[in-house]
Amino acid sequence: TSFGPALRICDLPRMRTIRQFFRFPAMIGLTLMLAACVATSTAPPVEARGRNGPIVVANNRGGNVIEMVQYRNKLAASGRPVEIRGYCGSACTILITMPNACLAPDATVGFHAPRLPNTTIIPPLVDEIMARFYRNGILARWNSTWKHTPKIQKIAAKEYVRPDPQTPLCRK
């Protein structure tokens, strides 16, 4: 079955037929369903240090992009500092740009093309969802290289902050 070209929210005003309009929710549903399959991991490992201390996200390999977006919203709304430590890969990388987050100086960050588990199939729009959370040179590298490669590309935290100086490094 062909769904035709991908539709985006910004396309709504340009839709000329009722068929195009009703196909839009189906594409969103399909995209969300595929995004739910992007990875098999569930809740990220987190360590809370008291009620007012930082929330530590440590050694997180990523997982489902939509769930990570929801988790990011929850962390950002918590008002507590968030420390990203150890390894942060795949969907975890969208947590780095939260206004209340810092990246440990000895952390490692890993990027790769989002894909359905055990396949090379890149689900529609998931790379664009992830791109919304990157900025500066990291966004440029995501769009030019990382979102196209299935093999994880790891960089050190200090390498991450060079193209994205808005990302603070955590104090030890």
Tell me the pLDDT tens digit for each residue of 70-115. 999 999 999 999 999 999 999 999 999 999 999 999 999 999 999 8
pLDDT of residue 25: 52
> What is each CA distance from 126 to 36, 98, 99, 111, 123, in whole angstroms?
10, 19, 22, 13, 6
Say yes or no to pLDDT of 121 above 70.
yes
Q: Residue 54 is encoded by which pair of tokens?
A: 């930082």
Say yes or no to pLDDT of 129 above 60.
yes
Terminal Cα-to-Cα distance of the chain (whole angstroms): 54
> What is each CA distance from 48 to 56, 80, 138, 170, in whole angstroms?
6, 10, 28, 16
Query: Could you report the per-residue pLDDT of 29-86, keeping only the tens digit for each?
Result: 544 444 444 443 444 445 555 577 899 999 999 999 999 999 999 999 999 999 999 9
